[in-house]
A and B are shown apart, each in its own frame.
Chain A
Amino acid sequence: MDMQKRYADRVKRLAAALNFEKTDCIPIMGMVETWAGHNNGMSILDICCDAEKLKASYLHFAKEFDFDAIGSPMGCRWAPVYSALGSTEFSFYNEKGAPHQGVQHLGRCNMEASEYPELIADPYKFITEKLLPRKYPALNVPEPRRSLNFAKGALLYVDHIFNALIPTCMAVGQQYGLPIFMNSGTEMPLDVMCDYFRGFQNIIMDTRRHRKQVIEACEALYPILLAGAIGNQAPEMFPTVFIPLHIPTYMNTKDFAEVYFPTFKRMIIDIINAGRRPYLFMEGDWAPYAEFFQELPKKKIVGLFEYHDYKAMKKNFGDTIALIGGMPLYNLNYDSKAQVIDRTKRLIDEMAPGGGWIFGFDKSWLSSNDANADNLKAVVETVRTYGVGK
């Protein structure tokens, strides 16, 4: 089979769905992450340390399942970088040395509330001089060891990019005609402060106790995070710019409007103006925030919804953003084959009319029990037959 043509056909199908046009068949996309390793008999340590095993796992998935796109293995955090820099922020195995099912992010506070002025005054300097030495003990030692450790980490990072990440993404395209759905990513400023600066509990309190400074910090971090989103990538609407959204659904709509939304809206618009398509990974229930999306450009965004009521999501968001989702991983794993086939057909009947939908799943696939391979094959086969011409 001509894999270049297969790749081009899949991209054409995805582009049609993203542009709310009729597709020859409903496309399928999944964030297969570390499940790809489990499905290939490998632990997270295997695929987060060994470039060949990572590539082999993704190739195995591409061969076994007829998807139109998968996410890049961004969630397969490269353990050697963290190990070289002495970080324990990401955990790969338990106290007995047995690998976890998925990479664990151990939320921490790496910044005090009293340091907001310093962050706001020069965020990049704060990151390099204060935040990173706290996150990475090997960067908190006297020179010249600190710079040497930094450079060791840099070499491992570059090794990850050029020997693991890029070759894996290229291999599934070249050998199986399978596109990668995104080729860059970033986070919204408040999510970064939540996940990596202040921690969840502190940032929630900060939005009340230090509201003005939190808003100013979002503004200060914004240019850096925008640069991470568009960088030197070509201005093209596919592949997309991946943006996981973590904290919004823990905020009431007033806090969301005042603290989160200003930089959120600007990030979306600036990415689109740069000729690229934001891909929002919308964790939690976004129904209360639907009205905010009316302020965003129409049909230039794609979003994966975790919330299961996809019919309501299509009604509330479907005129603004293309949707990915429909099949909860819980059902994919625990329902019978007949049940998942029936659910797949119902989803196609409900979601396909009007376009703007990619068949997908509600979460990233991390643990071995996040997907039942037999059920998944039945789902793919159903989409490939029942989803034709819909």
Chain B
Amino acid sequence: MIKMPEIQSEVYWTYDDFVRMNKELGLGAVDAHENTPQVVRDQFKKGEDMLFGYIMYLTSF
């Protein structure tokens, strides 16, 4: 049986946090959010898989 890691990160925000923050602060990245295709938003909202993939990409490849 493969033991998978428990991915728990309180360090960084989720996509929803990002969206909320952009709206509250009116920062420049709003455009990036609004132009993001729905499929990407849906994928991102699946949460940890994408976050994990992103962190692994930043860590190694």
Q: A interface vs B, CB < 8 Å? A: 74, 77, 81, 85, 124-125, 127-129, 131-132, 135-136, 144, 147-148, 150-155, 157-159, 161-163, 185-187, 192, 195-196, 223-224, 226-228, 230-232, 270, 273-274
Contact = CB atoms under 8 A, between A and B. Distances in A.
Interface string B10-50: 01110101100110010101001100110110011000011
A124 B56 contact: no
The 6 A-B residue pairs whose C-beta atoms are closest, nearest first, are: A151-B18, A223-B5, A147-B13, A128-B11, A157-B54, A228-B56
B29 A155 contact: yes
Nearest to A78: B57
Nearest to B12: A150
A128 B17 contact: no
Contact of A135 (B7, B18, B56, B58): B58
A230 to B, nearest CB: 8
A155 B58 contact: no
A158 B44 contact: yes
Given A127-B59, A157-B57, A223 B29 contact: no
B54 A124 contact: no
A185 B61 CA distance: 8
A162 B37 contact: yes
Nearest to A87: B58
A132 B55 contact: yes
A163 B39 CA distance: 10
B40 to A, nearest CB: 5
Nearest to A187: B60
A274 B4 CA distance: 12
A155 B2 contact: no
B28 to A, nearest CB: 9
B12 A128 contact: yes
B57 A155 contact: no
B40 A162 contact: yes
A124 B21 contact: no
Given A124-B8, A151-B21, 16 more contacts: A127-B55, A128-B11, A148-B21, A151-B17, A151-B18, A155-B29, A155-B33, A157-B57, A163-B37, A187-B60, A187-B61, A192-B60, A196-B59, A227-B52, A231-B52, A232-B49
